[in-house]
Amino acid sequence: MKTKNQNSFFANLKSVSLAVLIALLIRSFIAEPFNIPSGSMKPNLLVGDFIFVTKWSYGYSKHSLPFSIPLIPKKIFLKKPKIGDVVVFKTPEDNKTDYIKRVIGLPGDKIKILNGQVIINDEKIMRKRVSDFIDTDNNVSLKRNRKYIEYFNNIEIEVLDLMDNGIVDNTKLYEVPDGHFFVMGDNRDNSQDSRFDNVVGYIPFENLVGKARFIFFSLENSRFLQIWKWPKSIRKGRIFKSIK
């Protein structure tokens, strides 16, 4: 015969197990939070931004599941990303590291970077110089970086160009293979992306995790668990900001 304490223990265990299962299902099939650890997507995403990524946007694969458990053998409900989408994916190098970049090329596209400007299928992507991006730390101005708006058809993307003649300002011609896409960071001179064959290269559709939708929290110069620093560190203006 079970005691009252035993009944209480099993009831609590059942409740916790159900809560964990629901959380895993939401994380795997609806949305997952990520934080931004580097400046490769400046000026649009900053170190310390916490974002939500929707899992249904491009379909599901094993990379939709925690630890990429191989329960989904192929990509199902596949939807191709669009040029300009900000996506989270697993790098082909190890199939476990999460990267976030912007989609620049789709299967069949021919891409080249010439003097820092993107050329897709022999068409140069026009860009316009705008006010500098002021990189700050604790609200103290650090440095000014050149900022441009690039025009991809009806999409306008803010990008940074830190220097002339950077190591990937002039590249070979990339031909995106079938079932893959080509990505770049918005901080063009400070991003390891598809321009680096030995690090990222072309991204298989299967490696897509989801689409970055909005920033739900943002901290400058502090970690999430350092709650005592929040009053001075929260970037209030970035909370619930959509990602474009």
Residues forming the active site: 40, 101
Alpha-carbon distance 224 to 218, whole Å? 9
Alpha-carbon distance 188 to 116, whole Å? 8
| 3-state per-residue secondary structure call for 148-163 | EEEEECCEEEEEECCC
3-state secondary structure of 67: helix
Alpha-carbon distance 70 to 152, whole Å? 36
240: CB partners within 8 A, 6+ apart? 214, 215, 216
- Cβ atoms 48, 36 nearer than 8 A: yes
* Residue entry with tokens 């629901």: 22
Q: Residue 76 gets which letter from DSSP?
A: B
Whether the ω angle into residue 43 lies within 30 degrees of 0, i.e. cis, is yes
3-state secondary structure of 87: strand
Provide the strand spans (E) within 11-107: 31-35, 49-54, 86-90, 98-105
